[in-house]
Amino acid sequence: MNKLELKAKETDIEFLQKKAKQLRRDIVEMLYRAQSGHPGGSLSETDILVALYYTGRLNISPKNYKDPNRDRFILSKGHACPALYAILADLGFFSKSELNKFRKIGALLQGHAVTDVPGIEFSVGTLGQGLSFANGIALARKLDGKNFKIFVLLGDGETQEGQIWEAAMSAANYNLDVVAIVDRNKIQNDEFVDKTKRMDPYAEKWKSFGWKVIECNGHDFNSLATALDNAENLSGPRVIIADTSKGKGVSFMELNPEFHGKAPNEEEYKKAIEELK
């Protein structure tokens, strides 16, 4: 039995799988109501976020999300905010009714994550900035003598950005205690990542920048648990490369570039919800 299963009585694998399916339904519902948003990357990152938020790994709650000693989770690929919104609503950071107003003018939940939303650490629009922001928090933490955790979630297409590698060099140079997680879902915007710009040898790139590299199956909770355990037992900059599938959980969205930024129509919505029961 691994640490993920031991964290809390209710956080066994079956619970986490059911929770992930529920959240994927919430994501599909949100995007269908809005007729706008990014389903593919939201669905691919869901299991990663569940493994962080529902296992006691993060000291973040509706009661302490402004506490200077809280753990930090930074969503760098901010267009994939529906998954994080669904989790924060489920955990009580704000009313779940807000999900029904996703992307509406004047509503709390907009198409890219902003710090107006309880539980959101970083306002993001342009990709490639989250790791730099995490570095800044890590440097401040050093100066303040604090010891909270810092996780940052990146997209694999996002890591084509030069700023990511500048931040990677800086983290290694200052030996910053940061855990990056790459949602390696193989699709960016409307094309496969490798057809846009080939990333392999991917793990070796991170290693050459001075990072400790951990690889896992981003849709298997035991594999995620092992990766997160390993990351917690290391120090300095380390990256978990999570092998995922864009659109995971919905057959016609999975590994389909068309659903990077396209909301389901009524027929697609009904089919997706049926598959996620």
pLDDT in tens, 152-211: 999 999 999 999 999 999 999 999 999 999 999 999 988 999 999 999 999 999 999 999
Dihedral over alpha carbons 92, 110, 57, 135 (to 10 degrees) = -140
SS3 157: coil
pLDDT exceeding 90 applies to what percent of the chain? 94
**CATH number of residue 78's parent domain:** 3.40.50.970
Q: Is residue 243 part of a domain?
A: yes
Q: Is residue 1 part of a domain?
A: no
Kindly give the pairing relationship between strand 187-188 and strand 191-192: antiparallel
Give the range of the structural domain holding residue 123, as residue numbers without chain letter. Answer: 8-275
- Whether 122 has a pLDDT exceeding 70, the answer reads yes
The single-letter code of the amino acid at 172 is A
Pairwise CA distance, residues 185 & 164, whole Å: 17
Which pair of structure tokens corresponds to residue 111?
């198409």
- Whether 245 has a pLDDT exceeding 50, the answer reads yes
The single-letter code of the amino acid at 5 is E
Domain count, the chain: 1
Q: Which residues of 246-266 are buried (b: 16+ CB within 10 A; e: fewer)?
A: bbbbbeebbebbebbbbbbee
Q: Is residue 183 part of a domain?
A: yes
- Whether 16 has a pLDDT exceeding 50, the answer reads yes
User: Could you tell me the pTM of the whole model?
Assistant: 0.94
Q: Is residue 21 part of a domain?
A: yes
pLDDT in tens, 194-234: 999 999 999 999 999 999 999 999 999 999 999 999 999 99
So what's the pLDDT on residue 8?
Answer: 41
Q: Which residues pair with 215 in a beta bridge?
A: 241
* Cα 204 off chain centre by: 22
pLDDT in tens, 130-148: 999 999 999 999 999 999 9
Per-residue pLDDT band at 63 (split at 50, 70, 90): very high
Unique residue bearing structure tokens 């000693």: 69
Q: Is residue 270 part of a domain?
A: yes
Q: Is residue 3 part of a domain?
A: no
User: Residue 70: what are its φ and ψ, rounded to 5°?
Assistant: -65, 155
Average pLDDT over residues 240-261: 97
Q: CB of 77 within 8 A of CB of 183? A: yes
* Cα 125 off chain centre by: 15
User: Residue 212: what are its φ and ψ, rounded to 5°?
Assistant: -80, 130
Cβ-in-10-Å burial (0-12, 13-18, 19+) of 204 comes to: exposed
For residue 158, the 8-state DSSP code is G
So what's the pLDDT on residue 10?
Answer: 44
Q: Is residue 2 part of a domain?
A: no
